[in-house]
Amino acid sequence: MIESTLYYSVKMKKRFILLSLLLSFILLVIFNSVFAQELTVSASKTKLAVGEQFQITYSLNTSGNGFRHPSFNDFDVYSGPNQSTSMQIINGAMSQSVSYSFILAPRKEGTYTIIPASITVNGKKTESKSLTINVLKGGNNNQQQQNSGNQQRQSQQQKSGTEELGNNLFIKASVDKSKVYVGEQLVVTYKVYTRVSIVDNGLTKAPVFNGFWSEDVFSPNKQATLHPEVIDGIQYQVAEIKKTILIPQHSGTLNIDAMEMDCVIRMSVKSNNFFDQFFGGGYRDSKVSIKSRTLQIEVMPLPEVGKPDGFSGAVGEFSIETKVNKNKLKTNDGVNYLLTLSGKGNIKFIEPIKLDLPKEFESFDPKMNDKISVSNTGISGSRTYDYLLIPRVAGNLEIPALHFSYFDPQKKEYIILKSAEIPIEVEQGEGEKATVTNNSSISKEDVKMLGSDIRFIKSKTELERKGHFFFDSYLFYFLLILPLIGLVVFLLLKKRFEKENKDFVLMRSKKATKLAQKRLQMANSYLSKNVYDPFYEELYKALYGYLSDKLNINGMELSKDIIIDNLRKNGANEDTLKQLHEILSTCEFARYSPVKEVMGMKSDYDKSIHIISEIEETLRS
């Protein structure tokens, strides 16, 4: 039971590992397709024997230029760089890929690191990874033995120097011109001259064209056709083994490396064996290394004098043709503007031509289509740029003339070609009217970074004392506490004021009773003398004064209604209030009335005393 679960868990683990490997592989694939602008490098083998051929391929899945490959110093270069380009258009989206491959063979055993190659994509230089190659001993011998194993018994292989052969076998490298301009093409031809019969040959070192861009017209081929040629009266059998078009990339004196070749030559020897003699005699095969001369090419820079603006680097002989697929269209409809460059020269190196379009047109990056052929005389062909233009406003527009300049090395001057202007009739299309503001989005470019540097110094500053903090100062603490102090002072003052105020009210109310008593006494004395007016005067004052003080209402605001309202709030009973109202009315009436009723004086006096004592009681409770 335990074993089975253990087994199960191991199985699970294995499955997990498998799944995660699968997942990471998928991720890797996705990653590769997302970050595809890398120059990838691959080798057919990374572990191999001395002399064994292998292929290194650099591939890029977009277009690029200025490919620079490492010099394979420790290797024999059999072929390369062999460029292959493929282009795909799916739903109008163009994808391009390019690869450069080399066939190499190591010379010595050991571990070699091939340094990265680089290419420029959209003005950005990308580098491939470096590659490690492990070279083992031997291995190659088997192959050679196999090759020679089916030779005849007597045949022997042996190495011998070239001097033995003298002028009987050699390679000659020749160029059609030795002085060229940068970008001008030249043809280098390697020929083998021989007066002996060659059984087998193999390239040991293909020439490396440092500083050139190269395109093979044809490559080393074992089945080279021989034709006779006479040099200094000696007839040779000649085979063209390699013909390459070279385009120098920079000025200066550039070397074309030698080509090295191993040939197995067959020489007849006298044999002791009768049968051999009978069947055409014995012969001996020997292996010979031959080498061509290194050639020097003087590359002149293009003259700066008279260099036109917007010179795109074209060197050779060109013509241009422009056309559109329609002349009448509606706004926001597309028109294809085709620009065809044809001629002889470094067509592949021409930078994309920028259109100088009026802002009524929106343009997109062109699709490029190359039809290039390589022949004995050089590279020729045509390149077509297909621009999609979308007019945004209606009217009779015009695609302006296009200027294309190139350098003609024969005439040694720059030549400017001008295309015709193309009128375009644009009608207002359906749908939303194109607004002029749309135009602002035309031909925007990312800001090009030319270099990086630190930002510049600041011109103004506010200097402060170092280590001097307001936060740390006494002033800060003082200011922080200040409002608190203020608040405390405020509260104390308020309390005191309230207390004083309260005392004042208390005193006033205490005084009120005394004052009322005094006034009532006065009234009483008037009553006994039977003096009418002063009596009511005093009674009125006694009542009003008393109520004003008791209720803490100023004399100005004092009126009968206010007094009664106030007393009612304080809980006086309605009966008392009614009596108060009556007596106050009587007093007012008595003060201003000419009629003097002496009879009611005594009862009014008693009533007043009664009311005051009642109110006194109510307010106290």
Partner 1 sequence: MKKMFYIFVLLFQSAILYANENNEAEFDKANNLYKGNHYDKAIVSYNAIINSGYESSDLYFNLANAYYKSDSIAAAILYYEKAKKIAPFDEDILVNLKIANLRIKDKIEQPDEFALSKWVNTFTLTKSADKWAIQSIVSFFVCCSLFALYMWVKTRGQKQMLFVISIVFFLVAVSSLFFANKNYSIQQTSNTGVLFIESIQVKSAPDEKSTNLFEIHLGSTFTILEENGNYSRIKLLNTNEGWIKSSAFRAI
Residue with Cβ nearer partner 1 (326 or 495)? 495
Under DSSP, the state recorded for 608 is H
Please give the torsion angle defined by the CA atoms of residues 427, 429, 435 and 440, in that order, rounded to the nearest 10 degrees. -80
Q: Does the bond joining 81 to the residue before it have cis omega, within 30 degrees of 0?
A: yes
Other CB atoms within 10 Å distance of the CB of residue 227:
10
Residue 494 interacting with partner 1 (CB under 8 A): yes
Q: Which of 153, 159, 411, 460 touches partner 1 (CB under 8 A)?
A: 460
For residues 390 and 469, the answer to whether their CB atoms sit within 8 Å is: no
Q: Which of residues 65-94 bind partner 1 (CB under 8 A)?
A: none
Strand 54-60 to 93-106 pairing: antiparallel
Question: Does residue 462 belong to the site contacting partner 1 (CB under 8 A)?
Answer: yes
Q: Pick from 16, 476, 504, 589: which binds partner 1 (CB under 8 A)? A: 476
Q: Is 474 in the site for partner 1 (CB under 8 A)?
A: no
- Which residue in 275, 471, 474, 592 binds partner 1 (CB under 8 A)? 471
Residue 154 CB contacts under 8 Å (≥ 6 apart), including other chains: 271, 273, 276, 282, 283, 284
Q: Which of 35, 278, 456, 474 binds partner 1 (CB under 8 A)?
A: 456
By CB under 8 A, is residue 482 in contact with partner 1? yes
Angle between helices 601-620 and 574-592 (to 10 degrees): 140
Judged by CB under 8 A, does residue 358 bind partner 1? no
How many whole angstroms from its chain centre is CA 374?
Answer: 39
SS (H, E, C) 40-57: EEEECCCEEECCCCEEEE
Cβ distance to partner 1 smaller for residue 150 or 461: 461
Residue 315: CB atoms within 10 A of its CB come to 22
User: Does the footprint of partner 1 cover residue 480 (CB under 8 A)?
Assistant: yes
Name the segment binding partner 1 (CB under 8 A); options: 132-140, 298-306, 481-489, 531-539. Answer: 481-489
Min. distance of Cβ 320 from partner 1 in angstroms? 45
Residue 306 CB contacts under 8 Å (≥ 6 apart), including other chains: 413, 414
CB of 128 to partner 1, least distance (A): 23
The Cβ of residue 107 has, within 10 Å, a number of other Cβ atoms equal to: 17
- Helix, strand, or coil here: 520? helix
Of 230 and 457, the one with the shorter C-beta distance to partner 1 is 457
Residue 411 binding partner 1, by CB under 8 A: no
364 is a site residue for partner 1 (CB under 8 A): no
- At CA 543, angle to CA 537 and CA 547, rounded to 5? 145
108 is an interface residue for partner 1 by CB under 8 A: no
**SS3 call for 343:** strand
The edge-to-edge listing of strands for the beta sheet with 40-43 is 40-43, 54-60, 93-106, 75-90
Q: Report in angstroms how near the CB of residue 419 gets to partner 1 at its nearest.
A: 46
What CA–CA distance (Å, rounded) separates 174 from 188?
Answer: 6
Residue (31 or 477) nearer to partner 1, CB:
477
Is 458 a binding residue for partner 1 by CB under 8 A? The answer is yes
User: Which residue in 447, 463, 556, 595 binds partner 1 (CB under 8 A)?
Assistant: 463
- CB of 279 or CB of 478, closer to partner 1: 478
Which CB atom, from 303 or from 486, has the smaller least distance to partner 1?
486
Whole-angstrom Cα distance, residue 351 to residue 349?
Answer: 6
Minimum CB distance to partner 1 smaller for 1 or for 484: 484
Q: By CB under 8 A, what part of segment 532-561 binds partner 1?
A: none
Decide: is 450 part of the binding site for partner 1 (CB under 8 A). no
For the bound state, the minimum distance from the C-beta of residue 569 to partner 1, rounded and expressed in Å, comes to 17
Binding site for partner 1 (CB under 8 A): 452-467, 469-472, 476, 479-480, 482-484, 486-487, 490-491, 494
